Structure formats: structure tokens, C-alpha cells
Amino acid sequence: MMQHMIKQWSTILLALLTTTHVPAQNGILIPEIINYSKKVYESGNQNRAVDQDRRGLLYFANDDGLLVFDGNYWKTYPLPNGSIVRSLKVADDRIYIGGQQEIGYFFFDKKGGLTYQSLKQLIPPGETEFSDVWHVVQCRKDIFFRSNKRIFRYHDGRITAFKSINWGFLGVSRGEVIGQQYEKGLVLFKDGQWQPLGNKLDFSNDKVSVRSVSDFGTQDILLTTLKTGVYIIHDNAINKFETPSTAILASEIINFAQAIDTSLTVIATRLGGYYVIDTRAGIVQHLTKQEGLQSNTVNTAFVDKEKNIWLGLNNGIDLVIYNSPINHITPNHESKSPGYSAAIYDNQLYIGTGVGLYNVPVGPGNDMSGMQKSLSLVKNGNGLIWGLSVVNNQLLVGRNDGAYAVRNNSCVPLDTSTGFWFFQPLDARVPCPRVIAGTYNGVNLYHFAAGEFLNPKIHTSFESAKYIVVSGRDIWVAHPYQGLYKLSINDTGGLSNQPYKDVHNLLSAGHNHLFKIRGQIVLATRKGIFSYDSAIGDFRESEFFKKLFGAAPPSYLREDTQGNIWFVEGKSPGVVDLSSPEDPAIIYFSELNNSILGNDEEFIYPVNKNNVLIAGEIGFYHIDYEKYKKTDHSINVLLRTVTASHKRDSTLFGGYLAGQSAGDTGDLVKFQHDIRYKWNSLHFEFSSPCFGGIVEYKCRLMGYEKEWSSWSRKTERSYTNLPAGNYIFQVRARNDIGHQSSVSQFIFTISPPWYNTILAYGMYVVLLTAILYFFYKRQQKKYLVQHANRLRKQREAFEEEQQQLQYRHQLEMEKNEKEIIRLKNIKLEAEVEHNNAQLASNTMNLLQKRELLNKIKDEILIIQEEHEPEKRTRNLRRIIKIINEQLESIDDWERFSQYFDKSNNDFLKILKEDHPLLTAADLKLCAYLRLNLSTKAIADLLNLSVRGVESSRYRLRKKLSLANDISLFDFLAAVGNTDQNKL
């Protein structure tokens, strides 16, 4: 009893202490907010409850039904009666829902789909009168459904109903079911009964409208009401939680509250967006439509496994990446101006934007997590702020209209002659007597004395000097497009500049920047990163940076106090983590890709390991780098849909797995049946419940592909006309910092077409055997018939052939006998003709000789009688002439040719007809060659030399057009030959 009283007094004392607590200031760090409008999820406007299953899928109670989101795809499952889903609760592998006159649950069926099972049939008779079911809660093995008139308890397959005039609320906290009953007020379900909770405050008769109960701190329960504020339940004692912060919350009309962890709670309101409070009711965060919510009316809030906050709105869904180490700072929500520069000075964070200079106090150690919500505009701070420099314990501001110093929270002009970038001391002394400033048209040199910056008009003019690096006595200035300059201070204290001679072609056509990294002057161009070597008085390529960045040098570099090097590459920020110098790691913050400034306006301000500011297109981004490194960036990938196509689509797997949690193993689905061959075109959809950031996927189909696909943001893959076989579809995901998920797999088999199965092969064998046997028997029969016919025909043919042979033999014998007789006659005739011709020729020759001899005799007698020598000589000559004339006598040749043709089958006649160009001399030569006379004999007959005969033979061959391989004698011997002509 005493102990109970002590606890009650402790609770009262705590309440009294908290009533005097001033609400903590809300931080200016705005987390990333992702808006999902109705057009995005394509379902009803209002969303009243949110829950998450073991695999990370999110479920929303939506006007149009149960709305499911897996990180990529939204899908709505309407209730059978088409009513609004008012409430839901995920328990094990079921999603219990409450609708309008409907209670039940969705479960994962054998195909991985969501199937609805109504529980109305289990409601006892007489208890079925209810309308909207506003709450569904789970406590151990019990599921409770709350309507206005009844609460239904579902336990072990049975439903029990509890009546009331009005059940105003139902919730669960600290393992207890808490309700609000019209008759009894707050009640607690215990031992199967509703028992009163607390005995001090009266919640009966609907005097108070309870909205939520949630864990609060380590032991308490936070109870929120619609209009009467917030209460604390401690050991069944209820006390009003009254602080200025809770008064603010009550005025915004609280709709719902849920614990983020033991120290923080999110509260959804009807009028003021949502709040995050600590256990002392201090407001840690407050976001409204101004900060990026779609609406200030938040029906419900849900904290997922990653401690992201989901907000169910009247007109959509918002996701707040609450636990992210990356947040946004927006000094002016109306202008949405870029951030250009930042600095911490005098325990204040100063932020320079395109419209002005803002400041806010920082906590101890420059902690930015507790800064107030609204940054204040510094007096006279309107303008484009390019640079903030803390020099000689003063904050100097470079603006488009001049240089200013911040004094007493006001911008005091120093030099308004031109636009300024920033200031830099010439050495490390504090205060430094000489300070240089980069301006729109060169560099100014200032003297510092008695707390004032004095300008004796010392200036060197060349180009806009935004990038200046001082290292010892070396002062270098870079212009992104105009090149590089080296400054020097002469003996009189004046400034001069000398353009850099780029003999090694280091500078690029643009983006030439100077930085001081690791105590060295570093030149970054599009051609690489170069460090200044004072020994040679020139820049040389940096091997250190080349190993880090290769052929893609960054455009901005900044070193932090831990030696890490922050950079911007394109519009992607990152850091070279040198916490292990021997193994530097490059980390990219891809969450900020294309959201930060680029094109020579990059800016990073690493305050410490927990606070790094990066200039963004709107304001600044804040990175808690230490938290970023410790954040669990694990990711998992889910198979969401597998469909097969033929003439329509058929779902093989609907995306839901019973009894499986999102973990390191990935989904493993084995399709239990073989897929028919005609359904061999498959479509896979997959996703990752990684909310916020960029997720990429790669996949492959083992059994069809050997290599993984390239990383892509596509969340689907199709395969058409797959051959029969066993397959495993594999997919894995990768988040924006490179962490990969385990592989999720879908195992399936495509059966061969009916004509390619074992049964079909057996049928083919049987059919082929039958066909072969049929053709064999048919051919056998045909062969026997053909063989018999062939034997008969052969016999008949043989007999006929024998008869013909005998007849032909007889004819041949008779013909041969006649031919023999004819040939004998021809031979005899030829012999007779030859003999006659020979006789005639001989006779002729005898006659000619006789005549010639007589003529010669007469002439000799005349010569004998002549006595004069001259006349004798003349007569001898006449005798010789007679002999020559006789030798050349044409008549002799004509006679010879006639006799020759008669004896040689008209040889000369045929030869003349076939070759009309032959001369008489040619014919003579042909006749003599036909007689096979020697060349010498022919020469004597033709009265020619042997060489002349050879020439005549050559000309004769040409006239006869004889080829070289044909003998002239053989050709002439064939002329007039009867057998040769037949051939």
C-alpha cells in the first residue's frame, strides 16, 4: 500500500514538474518528405490507418479498400461489399480489417496472392448490428474490432461480442487492451472482462473523446484526446499532462499518437500537421504544409521498421524520412533560394542565400540538432550572399553589392566599390595585419588595425577572383575560364599579377579551380588534379588524387578537421574518408544527386563529424556524417508478381509469402507445378521496401542466361518463348550507397510441348513401328508380285529374244554372204579398172616416148647433115627445147590427172571442190604426195629444189587449214577414201 502511494505521489510530482517545463525549440533540420498523392497510388482520398508486415510491405486503410505499397508498386484490394476500409492490423500473415458492416482478414493464398476471408458468419446471432469498424487491434492471440455499439473479440476461431451504448475508443499499449466505454469510461480488458481503468478522472458519458494510447518513455502510457489534451497512465493511475507544449497540441486537435522509441513520440493533428515530442513534452520537430506536407490534416501516423514516419492524410499519403542522417535547411520557405555560403561565428550559424543572410544559435560543440525552427534575417542582410569569412575574429560578408562586416547582428558596409566573393588572411597570425579579398574585378589588399579593415586602394585588376589560395609566400588566383594568375606583393606593399604560362597544357577551357588540401595548393581542371611543387615552381599531376578519382576529377574539394576530403563531382557530393589512410574509402551521397549547386557555385562546410553543410538548389543540406556511417543501410528485394502469358495473363505468384520475414536470405519461391509449354512467356515484377533514396536492380534467369544484367532502376523483366527446361529467376537490389541485398529466387520448370514428351516419344515409336511394319508387309507383298511378274517377263523376254537372235542371225548370215560377194565384186572391178588404167597409162607413156624418140631422131638426123657449127648448136638447142616442152606439157598433166583420178577415186576432183584456192602446182604436189614420192623425186618432177618443195608443202598446209598435229600425207590419203568418208 505504501509503495503504491509513493508511486502515485511520484507521478503527481512528475506532472507538477512538467507543467513548468518550457517546450524545446523545434530543430531547423527538415527531413526529406515524399508526397504520394491520389494520382500516384490511384485509390481513394482518405487513409485512416497504416501497418507493416514482416517483409516490409505497407498496408493502408483506404476509402477504396486495402491499399498495399512495396516501395515501387501500389495496389488496391477492395472489400467484397465495396465498402471503405476504416481500420486494419497486421498480425502474423494476416491483415485484419474493419469496414462498413464488415470484419475479416486478408491472407496469403497458395499462389502468393491476397485473398479475403470474412468473419461475419462467426458473429453470434443477435450481435450482427454494427456499422463502421473504427479500430482493429491485436493483443497476444486476440484480435479486437471496435464499432460504435459493439467490440468483437476474435479468439481461437470464435467471436465474442461486447455491447455498449457507445464504444468511443479501442487501443493497445504496454500489452494491454484499453477501451473507452460510455457507461464506465476508460476500461481495461482483463480475464475476459472489461474492468475500469483508474479511479480519479471520469471518461464516461463521452465527456472526453480519446484518440490514441501509445507507449511513452520506458514505463508509461500516453493517452491523447480530441480536445482536452494529453494524459499519462502510470500503474493504472491517470494524470493530466499539462505543459505549454501539450496545450499547443490540444489546440491543434490531436488525431493520433505513436511512439518512435522510448524517448520520442509522433503526434498527428487535424490542424497543425504532425509533431514529434520528447518525454517531457518538448517539441523536437513540427512539420506542416509549409515544410512540404500535402495537408495539415493528418489522420494517422505510423513508424515503420526504419523509423520512417508515414502520415495518412485526407488527400494522400506522406512519407517523412525521419531517421535519416541527411536533412534539409530552408531559411526562407517562400523564396526557396539557393544556399551559397555558411559559417559559424560567435555561437551562431550564419547562412548566406540568394536573398539574404540568416542566422540561428547553435548548441554546445556547434551542435545543429537543437537549433530553433525559424532562422532570422540579419539586419541589413538582404542581398545575394556569396561568401562568409571569419577573419581576425570578425565575420566578413561578400555580397553582390559590396563587402560587409556583421556587428551586433547587423551588416555594416566595409567596401561597396564592387561585388565581393570572400576574404582571406595572408598568414596564420591572429589578428593578421594584411587581408586579401576576391572581388568581381580582381583582388584587393586590406590592412587591419585597431579592429578595422583599412583599404589604401591597393588593388590588382584582371578578372573575377573567386578562387584564391595562399600558401606561405605563394598567392594563386584561378578564374574558371580565364586561367591562372600568380600574385606578388612588391616592396612598396602593392599588388601585381602575372598570368600563368601553361606550357604543359594543364588548364582546360573551363572549370579551373584552386583549393588548399593537405597543406598543398591544388589545381583542379577537366584534365586532372595537379598540386603545386615549389621546387620546380610549377604544377604537376597529383598521384594521390589520380588514384582516387581516375579520369573523372571533381570540380570542388574541401578538407575537414579529421583530414577527410569532401568533393563535388558534377552535381554529386561525396567524401574521401581517410580514417584509414592506408585504405581510403570514397562515399557518395547519391540521395543528394542533382539537388546541390554546381557550375562553379559548389560549397561544402564541414563543421565537424556530425555537422556538414552542403549548398543546395534550395537552402542547404545537413549531413550527420558520423550517424551516416553507422546507419544500417541493409536492403532486401521482394518478388512481387510472376505472370505467364499465352492468350491471356495467368498469375503464378502474387507477391505475398507466408511465414517469411525480410532478412538476409531473400525470397525463395518454388512453383510447385510444371508450366505448360504454351505458357512459356513469363513476366517478373520485383521491388524493395527501401523508402527514400535510389534503388537499382539486376537479375538473371539461370538456365537461360549466364551473366547478370546491368544495374537498372527498372523493376520488371520479361522473357518470351522460353524453351522447355528448369529455370531459376534471380534478382537482387542495391541502394544508393552500394549495399546489395540477398538474392531472391523464383524456381520453375517449363514442361516440353506435348509432342516432345516421353509419352509422345513412346507413341512415336509405336506409330513408327506400325508404319514400318505396314510398309514392310506391303513392300514384301509388292515385291513378291513384282518378282513373279519379273520372272514371267524375263522368261517371255528370253524366249522372244532367242527367236529374234535366231532371226537376226539368219539375216546376218545372208547379209554377210551378200556383202562378201559384193566386196569381192568391188575388188575385182577395182583391180580391173586399176589394171586398165595402168595399161592405158603405160600405153600412153609408150606412145609419148615413141613420138618423142621419133622427133628427137629427126632432129638428130638434121644436125648430122648440118656442117656449120652455129647451125648445129642451134639445132641442139632446139632438141633440148623440145625435150623441155615435152616435160612441161600440159596435155601430159591433164592426161596424168585423168588417169590418176580414175585410179584414186577422183582424188584431184574432190580436192579441188573442197579447196577451190588450190593451184595446178598445188594439185600436182598433192598427187605426188599421195603417191608417197620422196621429196627429191618430187623436186625432179616439178623442176624445183628440195627447199622449194618444202616451202610448197608449208604453203599447201596453210591452204588446207591443217592443224599442226595432223599429218599432210594422212590427210591426202584419206581424200576419196570411201570408208573414211563414211566415218
Phi, psi values for residue 590, rounded to 5°: -65, -15
In this structure, are residues 644 and 718 in contact, taking their beta carbons and an 8 Å threshold? Answer: no
SS3 state of residue 264: strand
Using alpha carbons, list the distances in angstroms from residue 747 to 109, 703, 729: 18, 11, 6
Q: What is the dihedral of CA 857, 862, 864, 867, to 10 degrees?
A: -160
In angstroms, the CA 367 to CA 261 distance is 22
For residues 563 and 578, the answer to whether their CB atoms sit within 8 Å is yes
- Please state, in angstroms and rounded to a whole number, the distance separating the CA atoms of residues 765 and 772: 10
Q: Which residue has the higher pLDDT, 534 or 65?
A: 65
The residues pairing with 318 across neighbouring beta strands, listed in sequence order, are 35, 311
- Please, which residues bridge with residue 375 across strands? none
Cell of 157: 476461431
pTM for this predicted structure: 0.73
Residue 440 confidence (pLDDT) above 50 = yes
Burial of residue 720, with CB atoms counted within 10 A of its CB: 0-12 exposed, 13-18 middle, 19 or more buried? exposed
Bond from prior residue into 553 cis (ω within 30 degrees of 0): no
- Burial code of 854-888, b = ≥16 C-beta within 10 A, e = fewer? eeeeebeeebeeeeeeeeeeebeeebeeeeeebee
Distances (CA, A) of 498 to 343, 485, 763: 32, 6, 95
User: Which tops the pLDDT comparison, 737 or 41?
Assistant: 41
The per-residue pLDDT for 692 is: 74
State the pLDDT at residue 756. Answer: 79
pLDDT of amino acid 957: 82
Of 191, 176, 109, give the one whose Cα is nearest residue 140.
176
Confidence of residue 536 (pLDDT cuts 50, 70, 90): confident
**Mean local confidence (pLDDT), 459-485:** 86
> By 3-state DSSP, what share of the chain in percent is helix, strand and coil, each rounded to 5?
25, 40, 35
> For residue 137, what pLDDT is reported?
96
- The mean predicted confidence, pLDDT, of the chain is 86
Q: How far is CA 272 from CA 38, 289, 379, in A?
A: 21, 9, 30
Q: What is the pLDDT of residue 604?
A: 94
**What residues form DSSP beta bridges with 406?**
395, 411
pLDDT bin (cut points 50, 70, 90) of residue 600 is confident
Grid cell digits, residue 372: 530553433
Range with the poorest average pLDDT among 9-18, 29-38, 144-153:
9-18
The mean-pLDDT minimum among 500-504, 557-561, 854-858 falls in 854-858
| Span 715-743, average pLDDT | 90
| Confidence band for 21, pLDDT divided at 50, 70 and 90 | very low
Integer-rounded Cα Rg, in Å, for the chain is 60
Closest residue by Cα to residue 445 from 475, 467, 472: 475
Choice between 643 and 939, residue whose per-residue pLDDT is larger: 643
pLDDT at 753: 87
Q: What is the structure's pLDDT at 13?
A: 40
Residue 664 pLDDT grade (very low, low, confident, very high; cuts 50, 70, 90): low
pLDDT surpassing 50 at residue 450: yes
968 class by beta-carbon count within 10 Å (0-12 exposed, 13-18 middle, 19+ buried): middle
Q: CA 198 → CA 69, 186, 292, 312, distances in Å?
A: 40, 8, 41, 31
**pLDDT tier at 889, thresholds 50, 70, 90:** low
Let me know: does 158 contact 118? Beta carbons within 8 Å: no
**Cell numbers 476508460 label which residue?**
186
